[in-house]
Amino acid sequence: MNVRNLKTLLSLIAGGGDLDESWEVSGFSSRADAKGAIESLSRSLGDPPPAVKPRGLERAILHADGASRGNPGPSAVAAIIHLPTGEELASVAKRIGRATNNVAEYRAVIEGMKLARDLGVRELVVYVDSELVMKQLTGAYRIRSKDLEPLAREVAAEARHFAKCAFEHVRREENREADRLANEALDRIEDS
């Protein structure tokens, strides 16, 4: 393990970067090598293994939101997975670099769907406050942007992992927590 590369990687991640954006800049030959170095360091420190995620959840609700300042500009995404009872299971919030509002919205949905899949959710309801994105995902609107077409295909591919997957529009105030997490992730960019 190259200690200098690992120090650079950890510094970038501590500054708000993520592994996907930082492994190559740190001098690693692949994302897998960088991840392996982090796992090796964790084992050497005697950290306990990560908690086992619950598996085989029947139904869950995903609230997803993207934030962009400048449109396009610095952007971040957030997704929160809840049980139908309202209990929060997991969340993710991270920066995604420079993007438009709509790209950020799509990427938030994708991140949330991946998280739900990792949790073993069988049926998923996805709530977004972007009427455009929701109508594009349900087929009510045609996708005209070449930037959004591949993202819509990725959402469709993720949807196939679920027995049922539905997309619904919610008012912004009903998506406040996902919006807050996305903006907090974006603020971390601007502070660094």
Using pLDDT thresholds of 50, 70 and 90, give the confidence band for residue 51: very low
Residue 177 sits in a domain whose CATH number is: 3.30.420.10
Residues 32 and 107 in one domain: no
Residues 118 and 181 in one domain: yes
pLDDT of 150 over the 90 cut? yes
Q: Flag whether the pTM goes above 0.85.
A: no
Residues 175 and 115 in one domain: yes
Using one digit for the tens of pLDDT, what is the confidence trace for 86-145? 999 999 999 999 999 999 999 999 999 999 999 999 999 999 999 999 999 999 999 999
Cis check for the bond before 72: say yes or no (omega within 30 of 0). yes
Contacts of 149 (CB under 8 A, 6+ apart): 143
The whole-number pLDDT of residue 41 equals 74
- Where in the sequence is the domain holding 24, given as residue range(s)? 3-44
**Cα 156 from Cα 165, distance rounded (Å):** 10
